[in-house]
Amino acid sequence: MRTLKIRNWSDFKYEIADLLFGKELDEAYKMGIRVGAEYATRKLSFEVSLKRRLTLTKTEERGYDHAIAAVARIKPEIANQTGAAV
């Protein structure tokens, strides 16, 4: 069982919440990170793929290809670090 260590009385309510709901708060935090990473990755991938239909100059096309490669390269790392289904 955890003991209540009051370091700062102004944070007392947070200490109580952590004592009572620490596990649930940790799970909610992890879920928020995972869902946020999944949303951001999918949104970025979708926005990048929308630009495929534009008429681009040679320089823009080259930069666009690098952006697509970067998104594809980083997706597995995001999935490994956060557990997001990207």
What's the pLDDT tens digit per position in 45-69? 888 877 767 788 899 889 888 888 9
* Residue 84 CB neighbour total at 10 angstroms: 19
Whether 4 is in a domain gets the answer no
Report d(CA 26, CA 2) in Å as an integer: 15
Specify the pLDDT at position 59.
Answer: 92
Whether 71 is in a domain gets the answer yes
Number of independent structural domains in the chain: 1
Expressed as residue numbers, the domain containing 22 is: 9-82
Mean pLDDT, residues 41-48 taken together: 86
pTM: 0.63
Could you tell me the pLDDT band of residue 26, with boundaries at 50, 70 and 90? very high
DSSP for 44-86, please give it. Answer: HHHHHHHGGGS---HHHHHHHHHHHHHHHHHHHHHHHHH----
* Residue 81 CB neighbour total at 10 angstroms: 11
